[in-house]
Chain A
Amino acid sequence: MSLTEGQVEKIAHLSRLGLTGAEPAEFQVELDTIVDFVDKLEPYDSSSVPPSNQVTGRTNVFRPDQTEPCPDAADLIKQSPHRDRYSVPSVRTLWKTA
């Protein structure tokens, strides 16, 4: 399949990536080439093959559900944009449809 510039802009919105200037056109060319490349998988008949999402075979790896003190909470908050608190702006256009 081929990707249009409009589709690239929609994907960018879903990815929460603001594209500017020539970026939509440039990414359209590059992503279209890569999608052509991954389309090489089409001829492989894999419909009866189970998917692999991991290789370890380990499932349901649990640990005891215990609360622990977090000694580095103050250092973690220093990594926030304001360095001393977390603040979240209002949610207005987050879910706009592209």
Chain B
Amino acid sequence: MPPLVDFGKGQRVEVVLVYQSLLGIYGDRGNATVLVKRLAWRGFDPLLTVVEPGDALPDSGQVYLLGGGEDAAQVSAVRALRADGGLHRAVDRGAAVFAVCAGYQIIGRSFTVGEDDQVIDGLGLLDVTTTRGPVRAVGEILTRWRGTDATGTDGWLTGFENHGGYTELGAGVEPLADVEIGVGNCGDGTEGAISGTVIGTYPHGPVLARNPALADHLLQLALDCELPPLPRPEIAELRRQRLAAVRGRRR
């Protein structure tokens, strides 16, 4: 792919992986690996910054990533992020935020933890509210993406969900996708939420490895430009297999 490697003209793009030690239990760091490589393959100069609690979030990032974690980690992460304030500043200047599972819950209005359903305030970046659901949602999930890039087979989002919290969307957000197989937000047929450059979603996989069109959509949101396609046969084959598996099994 010789023309691709010149596309980015060596432009620096900073991807910030937020609190890997707290929000990194389900392999969601792979979302950072995927974004960085897809930038490099197109001739950008990606920089991956891994931030841990106690370190300030950089104000120079174009994409901020949050992943899944356990209850105590979630509470610790939301406290540290509120004290830091960097995620709000990032959104205000148009950077993209992509938050998965526990990360999705903490950027919402509130979520609950523990057997006694203690309510914890979220960061309020998305108008969504999470409470403990009747049954834990565990398994392969298939959804139909509502995004503008969601054409043809690229519009199927595939992943693995594993969450006890159920998320209800408020008026300030749109669903990211509609559920074909699985639970998604709360069993109401929607999955994830999107508002401006902020996206929350439940699937691991990691989700950007299994859905390269969503990865590129996120980069386009962050860079505010069209990116040339990046055909990778091994990813197309993985998608073919995962779609066939989830449809064959119907959980």
A is bound by B: no
